[in-house]
Chains A and B, each alone.
Chain A
Amino acid sequence: MNFDYGIQKLSLLRDMRLVLMINKKSLKQFFFPIPRRGFLIRILIIVVVAFIVFRFIAVPSYISGRSMEPTYRDKTFVFYLPWLAMVRSPQIGDVVMVRMAGHRVMLMKRIVAMEGDIVEFKNGWLYVNGKLRLEPYIIYRNPWQLEPRIVKPGHVYVVGDNRGMSINRHAFGQTEKDRIAGYPLW
């Protein structure tokens, strides 16, 4: 019995050593691979695919600012889809990225009215064409007052979800549809 146990122990130790050796070898290969042709091609494919995905399909963006809280928190990340702006026409309720001079710094806002609509704020409540617009995504609400105004042709009216800030500190208003640079992924 003892003899058998000794053999089992020995083989277990041998197996463990073998596993460790294999792991060491594979770990070394993983971190310090020999740059063979196949390996370089794989790396190139990964780089190209990553570039295409993160440059044109789902672009990572850092959110800085509180104007879209609580839907999008300050200092968080989001991916936006620039190609969607080319195939989709903007609709009320959409969260969009509004470009400025380019695509590196953009504004993130929600569309609340389309061209020809009359927009106004009364005591923090949004009215479009004289009708109260219920917005379930709004949690904070300050008594904003804004005289009625018509959204110009080719424009959309965008506002952030954080209505708890002062109306003077919140950037919102109408912008050209052409400025919509994409839609967030979530």
Chain B
Amino acid sequence: MVSSVFASFFTTDKGEIEKRLASLVENISRDRGEGKISLGLKNQKLQKMLTDPCRISIPRHNIEVKKSPLELASYVSRLGARAQRVNIRFYDTSISLINNTEAVVNTTLRAKGEIRSNKSFSEVEQIKIELVKKDNEWLFSSFEQVEVLQK
């Protein structure tokens, strides 16, 4: 009781967004030999973190779509199923609050892991994430790849 009152007074929006990002990383990452139940739970948690619809923009591949949380979580699961291990990390994260209910995160995403044939992969992208606050919870509403290099 005391701790929740304390937390409600001292938890800032930026702090909540940081926690949200940590949770996103946890629910996208995948450990070697992780069970189906655990992956299913992660999928459900991921769905609850997204707005309906959620925008995905990847200019390099001319992708600009709006998907439901279920569709997106399923897509992440399908991608994850192709890998034995996926480790996601954010670097240089800056959080800007536009107003009380909207925020923008600019960060560098690094994905490392191994695919089924034991080949390792490592991808780095700068991404812009938009969040909206609904019912006192920050939800991800958009993920956009920032083109650092344009072929």
Contact = CB atoms under 8 A, between A and B. Distances in A.
Please determine whether chains A and B interact with each other in the same assembly: yes
A105 B151 contact: no
Contact of B151 (A65, A103, A146): A146
A144 B122 CA distance: 22
Size category, B interface: 10 to 19
Given A64-B122, A65-B122, A100-B126, A105 B92 contact: yes
Interface residues of A, number: 20
Is chain B's interface secondary structure helix, strand, loop, or mixed overall?
strand
B122 A172 contact: no
B149 A105 contact: no
Interface string A95-123: 00010111111010100000000000000
B110 interface: yes
7 contacts: A101-B108, A107-B124, A149-B151, A172-B149, A173-B147, A173-B149, A175-B149
Interface of A: 64-65, 98, 100-105, 107, 109, 146, 149, 158, 171-175, 179
Given A101-B94, A104-B108, 5 more contacts: A98-B149, A102-B91, A104-B92, A105-B124, A172-B149
